[in-house]
Amino acid sequence: MQNEAIKKDISTEIEAKEKEKADIAKIENLNFLGTQDRMNLILTYWGEKPVSEIEIYYDEANPLLEPEEILRAKNNLETALDALGLKFKATQQEQIDEDGFEQKKFQFFVGKNEDNLKELEMAFLEQNNEKIGKLLGYPETAVKAFAQGIQQKNLFEMVLDEKEWWQNLSKTEKESLLQEGVLNFASFKFSKEHWKEELNIIRKWQMQIKEKAPQLYATIMQEKPLLAMTKKERRKWEKKQAEKQLQDIEEEMKKITSLLGKPLEKKIKKAVILLNAFSIRTSASCEGHLQKKQNLAQKQNTIAPYIVVRSKIAQAKNWEENEQLKERIKKQNAFFYAKTRRLLKLFYQDKKTPVKQKLLLKTIDSYGAFRLEGKIKNSSAQKQKEQLQRCQKEMGRLAAFLKKKYPAYLFYHSLED
């Protein structure tokens, strides 16, 4: 009987370990969440942190982000948390910003204890930074320093200025920290007085992730911490991230145009992708064409390259009957116009481009939709062909300019540099 009981205990223990392993793998594979969110979820699952907080955003200003994607991410997260046996509370916030774009946020509080979830929700409502930090499992010394710094309006007298701190470390200390990789797992501000002890807590988290979630650990360890990068390394990293983002945008646009049965034309494609990357929503485009004459009496007619920019709301049914939607369309189109105009101003700031070669903005309806287009004058067929080629080249030049500026835009640097 005793042997049977021992066997049963061993079997139960094995099953528990197998379940834990499977659960951790589920969290690791929640790829719609960032690495920090997945790490914090795993630490909460183990009880290392009382609660995790996860936010899922939708911003209509992103022309390729659909609200259905955010709802799908929310539903997938809820399904995963239920399967993991974790308790959670989800809240939703919505607003329309000053430019008429809808913004939505789903905020999740996740833990094993209902009381902790309620307490964290209340702490966020009260903006109680000390209570928030403690419930999220941050070191008490770091939490107190941050809360006092916010309250007394002297934050960087209480917490580390990370760039300054890094610069003041010795070469040996820097090399040791980089080799160890501990800074990749940091998710809070270090206090000035106790940062060494706080690093030890992060080391503990790091070792737990390494042991239990090797796939996630490897992903987190891949990159050098931003604070440790030289200016040259940072620019190189930003360029790499921007290139990846552009590839993702191109793939997304392929899906959209395939569904519509209207793939982007080769000589306008790059400009369309780059405008969308700059959050300028395009709705139609044409690379330009020489139209064949039907008879000798007919004039040669050439279509110049163009890109139409228009609020997506204008695709909604019966939007003309809704005053709020009409107002939002006007605001969004005005936002797109101002942004495109600014980019063209930067593009042509060298003043070397002949006026006849410059791309133009032309409003096409009473709600502010517009075309970015080249200009072709009535003339001989040969001259129109030359003008068309010049306009196509100018669209290509604009695309190359935007691609060069995109890393600065993506990481909020000045576009003037």
- What confidence tens digit (pLDDT) does each residue in 136-146 have? 999 999 999 99
Q: Is residue 196 one of the residues assigned to a domain?
A: yes
> Same domain for 133 and 218?
yes
Domain boundary among 176, 200, 228: 228
Question: Range with the lowest mean pLDDT among 10-24, 106-120, 390-404?
Answer: 10-24
Q: Is residue 318 one of the residues assigned to a domain?
A: yes
> Same domain for 390 and 260?
yes
Length of the chain: 417
Q: Is residue 135 one of the residues assigned to a domain?
A: yes
Q: What is the pLDDT of residues 342-354, one digit of tens each?
A: 999 999 998 789 9
Beta bridge partners of 91: 107
Q: Is the pLDDT of residue 310 over 80?
A: yes
> Same domain for 71 and 179?
yes
Residue 308 one-letter amino acid: V
How many C-beta neighbours within 10 Å does residue 241 have? 14
Residue 7: pLDDT band (50, 70, 90) is low
pLDDT of residue 298: 46
| CB 311, CB 329: distance < 8 Å | yes
| CB 248, CB 278: distance < 8 Å | no
> Same domain for 242 and 136?
no
Q: Is residue 168 one of the residues assigned to a domain?
A: yes
> Same domain for 40 and 170?
yes
What mean pLDDT comes out for the span 146-164? Answer: 96
Q: Find the largest Cα–Cα distance for the chain.
A: 106
Q: Is residue 33 one of the residues assigned to a domain?
A: yes
Give the burial class of 146: count Cβ atoms within 10 A of its Cβ; 0-12 exposed, 13-18 middle, 19 or more buried: buried
Domain boundary among 228, 244, 269: 228
Domain boundary among 206, 228, 250: 228
**DSSP E strand boundaries for 39-131:** 51-59, 87-96, 102-111
> Same domain for 158 and 35?
yes
45: enclosing H helix or E strand: helix 35-46
pLDDT of residue 182: 98
> Same domain for 18 and 158?
yes
DSSP state of 159: B
How many folded domains does the chain comprise? 2
Distance CA 415, CA 417 (A): 6
Q: Is residue 417 one of the residues assigned to a domain?
A: no
DSSP state of 415: T
Q: Which domain holds residue 8?
A: 1-228
Residue 6: pLDDT band (50, 70, 90) is low
How many C-beta neighbours within 10 Å does residue 359 have? 24
What mean pLDDT comes out for the span 373-401? Answer: 92
Mean pLDDT, the chain, integer: 93
State percent of the chain over pLDDT 90: 83
pLDDT of residue 10: 60
> Same domain for 334 and 208?
no
> Same domain for 102 and 127?
yes
pLDDT of residue 417: 82
Q: Is the pLDDT of residue 268 over 70?
A: yes
pLDDT of residue 14: 72
How many C-beta neighbours within 10 Å does residue 242 have? 20
Q: DSSP per residue over 166-181, as a string?
A: HHHS-HHHHHHHHHHT
| CB 101, CB 60: distance < 8 Å | yes
Residue 380: pLDDT band (50, 70, 90) is confident
Q: Is residue 396 one of the residues assigned to a domain?
A: yes
Give the β-pairing of 51-59 and 102-111.
antiparallel
Residue 356: pLDDT band (50, 70, 90) is confident
pLDDT of residue 296: 44
Residue 295: pLDDT band (50, 70, 90) is very low
> Same domain for 136 and 203?
yes
State percent of the chain over pLDDT 70: 94
Q: Is the pLDDT of residue 396 over 90?
A: yes
CA distances (Å), origin 415, targets 80, 176, 224, 358, 411: 41, 36, 25, 20, 10
> Same domain for 208 and 270?
no
Which tokens go with 257? 């145009």
> Same domain for 210 and 246?
no
